Amino acid sequence: MRKKYLWIFFFVVSFQLYGESVRFYEMVISNALALQGRYSFPATNGNRFTSDCIGFVRYVYYLSGIDLMEVYGKGRGGVSSLYDGLVAKRFVYTNRVPLSVGDLIFFDNTYDVNKNGKWDDPLSHVAIVVSVDAQGTITYIHHSPRKGVSQDYMNLYYPQTYAFRKKDRTLKVINSYLRIHRGEQFPRENYISSFFFRAFAHIPVREISE
């Protein structure tokens, strides 16, 4: 397998920033936001997409020009497969804020994958970064079995805080609840997004494997 270095959508993209296409990431976000409220995704060009978090992420990136599983997951499917492929290419990183909108967020222990009643389920969820505000609160979009495609929040500067109370006494959520409380004997702050965070991944749009 060999690598080519070229600009994805060369004839569409009209400008570049730091060697990467800004418009590619804008396309990722636009495609993701257009799917809000959806629970499933249509087959496209013979490719089927599962009705879950990895199916959503793969569908969004596929619409934007990259088949994540073929390029980075070796076609096996699943969050861990994608993560391992991105680690191998050194695209995975940890930080308090992502490098770019459109980056992926990986989470552990968001549900009991192996159904053993323990929190020992790595790489159980994946989402896409939509934006980051001045306080470091990340808005991300993902597929939830309860809400379908929806937006939620995570702030790694305040990893134990669900929300701040604003001057008008309303709450500003900075860490959405990501796991359903099923009577486990854990503090409520253990169920917010920051508690399950594992890593980000940034995919340079210039690299395509064939």
Contacts of 161 (CB under 8 A, 6+ apart): 155, 174, 175, 189
More confident position, 3 or 98: 98
Residue 6 confidence class, pLDDT cut points 50, 70, 90: very low
Residue 11 lies in a domain: no
Residue 30: Cβ-neighbour burial (10 angstroms; 0-12, 13-18, 19+): middle
CATH of the domain at 160: 3.90.1720.10
Q: Which stretches of 108-157 are DSSP H helices? A: none
Taking CB atoms within 8 Å and a gap of at least 24, the contacts of 81-90 are 82/54, 82/57, 82/58, 82/126, 83/123, 83/126, 83/199, 83/201, 86/201, 86/203, 89/207
Dihedral angle sign, alpha carbons of residues 44, 50, 54, 56: positive
Count up the domains in the chain and report the number. 1
pLDDT digit string (tens) for 139-178?
Answer: 999 999 999 999 999 999 999 999 999 888 899 999 999 9
Residues of the domain holding 171: 16-209
pLDDT at residue 2 greater than cutoff 50 = no
Strand partners, 93: 200
Residue type at position 60: V
Model pLDDT, residue 93: 98
Residue 200 lies in a domain: yes
The tokens describing 83, both together, are 């993560």
Residue 9 lies in a domain: no
Model pLDDT, residue 14: 30
The tokens describing 166, both together, are 């604003």
Torsion angle (degrees, nearest 10) of CA 94, 191, 132, 39? 110
pLDDT digit string (tens) for 92-145?
Answer: 999 999 999 999 999 999 999 999 888 999 999 999 999 999 999 999 999 999
Model pLDDT, residue 103: 97
Residue 209 confidence class, pLDDT cut points 50, 70, 90: very low
Model pLDDT, residue 210: 40
The tokens describing 201, both together, are 């991944």
Residue 155 lies in a domain: yes
Residue 3 lies in a domain: no
- Interior CA angle at 54 toward 50 and 59, to 5°? 70
pTM of the entire predicted model: 0.87
Residue 5 lies in a domain: no
Model pLDDT, residue 13: 32
Residue 77 confidence class, pLDDT cut points 50, 70, 90: confident
| Phi, psi torsion values for 84, nearest 5 degrees | -60, -40
Residue type at position 106: F
pLDDT digit string (tens) for 11-57?
Answer: 233 334 344 567 899 999 999 999 999 999 999 999 999 999 999 99
Residue 8 lies in a domain: no
Q: Which helix (H) or strand (E) holds 27?
A: helix 22-33
